[in-house]
Amino acid sequence: MDRRDFLRTGLALGGAALASTTNCATVDTAAPSPAPQAATTPPAPDSWEAFRAEFELTHDDIHLSHFLLPPHHRSVREAIELYRKALDANPLRALKQYSPTAEAEVSRAAAAYLDVKPEELALTDSTTMGLGLVYAGLRLREGEEILTSTQEHYATDQSLTLRAERTGAVVRRVPFYTDPEKLTEEAAVGGMMQAMTPRTRYVAVTWVYSVSGVKYPVRALADALAKVNADRSEEERILLCVDGVHGLGAEVETIPQLGCDFFISGCHKWMFGPRGTGFIWGRPSAWQRLVPTIPTFYSPAVRIWAKDDPPSALPPGPLVTPGGFHSFEHRWALNKAFELHQRMGRERVTARVHELNRYLKEELGKMPHVRVRTPLSDSLSAGITCFEVPALKPAEVVKRLEQKRIITTVSHYVTRYVRAAPGLLNSHEDVEALLREVRAMA
């Protein structure tokens, strides 16, 4: 069977059963076998200690760096293992049996948590892939502008640079803070709004900046942009694009509450999702401004392609979901991470993350030899705390802490700070251990 014949079979991936949640496309009505289920679904934990027991994390070190790469929760591990065994035992049968239902369930679980519609979601492998797909596909004319900040992550910055080179568009970068710990909402939003021009078409910001721990007031920026857009035509409307990975799973807001047009995130950080998973959400009107970069394997698209008809009736999210073969067992298990957070409750999660980080910032701020660089306010910070010990380089501080079995990181940007990110897998004792060692650096 050659590649074209294989694709025609409708075994293609990318959310095949999403058509059951939308009237935009139809799929075969034969019901596939149900996806494998983990042996047990853990109840909402009664304590954070019980929650931490669901992970196979060693206790040799104090881990304050899980905002980069955390371990898998038990429910995620079990789902991955069940799918892996099925794929190893009979790969093609497993592909036929589980792909449509599993990917549809992932989209439904994600949509329920995010408070959006499943057909508005494209599944990706990471935040970086999502950023690349969005910024590579935005409709832009020569001379039109993308406005962003000088504080953006490399993935956003370079994706925008590459897009500008291909289209002749202009990327304008403005700083919205000098000293992050002194940032105000008015300064953050005002700095962006003052940089707007009649040729601005997109604004690219990050919800929580890993360089400084700053949480950008996305809702306030969205409201300010709405006033500008009120006097613009649809094609000149400014779209707000957000890298949301360090807010997702740590902050309480849903996507509609943020008010953005595109939200891009990985799921293997604060969500405790399978490694190598992510998504793009787009407002229906915003999807009309984006051209897919990688052909989808969404099965209605494959059948349309086989008939040489345009895929005009496809849902926008699946249309942008990259085709090809993925790490299936990881993607299919992603719904378990969203279900986990639904059981815990987003308010409870956010309260815990802020409690630990607020205490860390307050205690560090009492040390005369330390400068805290993350805002103290919960409205402008989240789960990442950045600080300096001016007498030492950040890398030296991280090295000394590691010698004491405390794992922190350095923000490798133009500005470099020590980063600690106490989260759901940490205790107050972990934070106290860090504080004790930093005090000893005086």
Beta-carbon contacts of 75 under 8 Å, excluding residues fewer than 6 positions away, are: 38, 41, 42, 54, 336, 339, 340
First to last CA, the chain: 69
What b/e string do you get for 141-162 counting C-beta neighbours within 10 Å, with b at 16 or more? Answer: eeebbbbbbebbbebbbebbee
Residue 14 belongs to some domain of the structure: no
Same domain, 159 and 270: yes
Residue 228 belongs to some domain of the structure: yes
Same domain, 152 and 247: yes
In this prediction the pTM is 0.87
Residue 55 belongs to some domain of the structure: no
Same domain, 147 and 290: yes
Residue 76 belongs to some domain of the structure: no
Last residue of a domain, one of 343, 361, 376: 343
Same domain, 130 and 262: yes
Question: Would you say 387 and 417 are in contact if contact means Cβ atoms under 8 Å apart?
Answer: yes
Same domain, 172 and 271: yes
Residue 20 belongs to some domain of the structure: no
Last residue of a domain, one of 279, 314, 343: 343
Domain CATH code at residue 294: 3.40.640.10
State how many domains the chain has. Answer: 2
Residue ranges making up the domain that contains 287: 118-343
Residue 263 belongs to some domain of the structure: yes
Residue 4 belongs to some domain of the structure: no
Same domain, 168 and 283: yes
Last residue of a domain, one of 312, 343, 374: 343
Question: Rounded distance, CA 5 to CA 36, Å?
Answer: 28
Same domain, 332 and 363: no
Beta-carbon contacts of 63 under 8 Å, excluding residues fewer than 6 positions away, are: 57, 407, 425, 426
Same domain, 318 and 382: no
Residue 230 belongs to some domain of the structure: yes
Question: Would you say 10 and 26 are in contact if contact means Cβ atoms under 8 Å apart?
Answer: no
Same domain, 373 and 333: no
**pLDDT by residue for the chain (442 residues), tens digit each?**
443 333 333 333 333 334 333 333 333 334 445 555 555 555 455 789 999 999 999 989 999 999 999 999 999 999 999 999 999 999 999 998 898 789 999 999 999 999 999 999 999 999 999 999 999 999 999 999 999 999 888 889 888 888 888 888 899 999 988 899 999 999 999 999 999 999 999 999 999 999 999 999 999 999 999 999 999 998 899 999 999 999 999 999 999 999 999 999 999 999 999 999 999 999 999 999 999 999 888 766 555 444 555 555 678 899 999 999 999 999 999 999 999 999 999 999 999 999 999 999 999 999 999 999 999 999 999 999 999 999 999 999 999 999 999 999 999 777 899 999 999 999 999 999 999 999 999 9
Same domain, 148 and 219: yes
Domain CATH code at residue 404: 3.90.1150.10
Same domain, 230 and 315: yes
